[in-house]
Amino acid sequence: MLRGLTTVSFFADDVTAAWAWYAELLGIEPYFVREAGAAPVYAEFRVGDYQHELGIIDSRFAASTRQGTGSGAVIYWHVDDVQASFERLVSMGATVHENPVERGPGFVTASVVDPFGNILGIMYNQHYLQVLSAWAGA
């Protein structure tokens, strides 16, 4: 039934500020932007080995009222160094949601709340690397 991650949607009251924050974090600009009037209401980045999509959407388009604090599902993005990535996120203004935790050999997770109220999970995941290696060898 579930075949893979397609798009992760984060909401922000200020799409321009969120766009700039994620562009700095990722080191890339969005590949797609939709505007309403002269302001962006959606910006989408392609991220990582499989070019997953990360969309930043104007909060007024959220399906329900947002509380202003991180909530909902935590989606983890693979990183090679959880501690270094976690420290970078916090240095950029994210707040700690969960400090790095080793979940077992080859699995470390952490999460932050970005400056726009979205939970951003990061994870070192040995299975991700195994799949990537197998896919690269095919």
Q: Is the dihedral of CA 33, 96, 68, 123 positive or negative?
A: positive
Q: How far apart are CA 109 and CA 120, in angstroms?
A: 11
Give the pLDDT score at 61: 83
Q: Is the dihedral of CA 32, 62, 24, 122 positive or negative?
A: negative
Among 9, 6, 24, 20, residue whose Cα is nearest residue 59: 9
Question: What residue type is 13 in one-letter code?
Answer: D
pTM exceeding the 0.85 threshold for the entire prediction? no
One fold for 1-60 and 73-138: yes
Continuous segment of H or E residues that includes residue 113: strand 107-113
Listed as ranges, residues in the chain with pLDDT below 50 are none
Give the pLDDT score at 5: 78
Domain regions of the chain by residue span? 1-60, 73-138
Give the pLDDT score at 26: 97
The topology under which CATH files domain 1-60 is: 2,3-Dihydroxybiphenyl 1,2-Dioxygenase; domain 1 (3.10.180)
CATH 3.40.50.1170 fits 73-138, yes or no: no
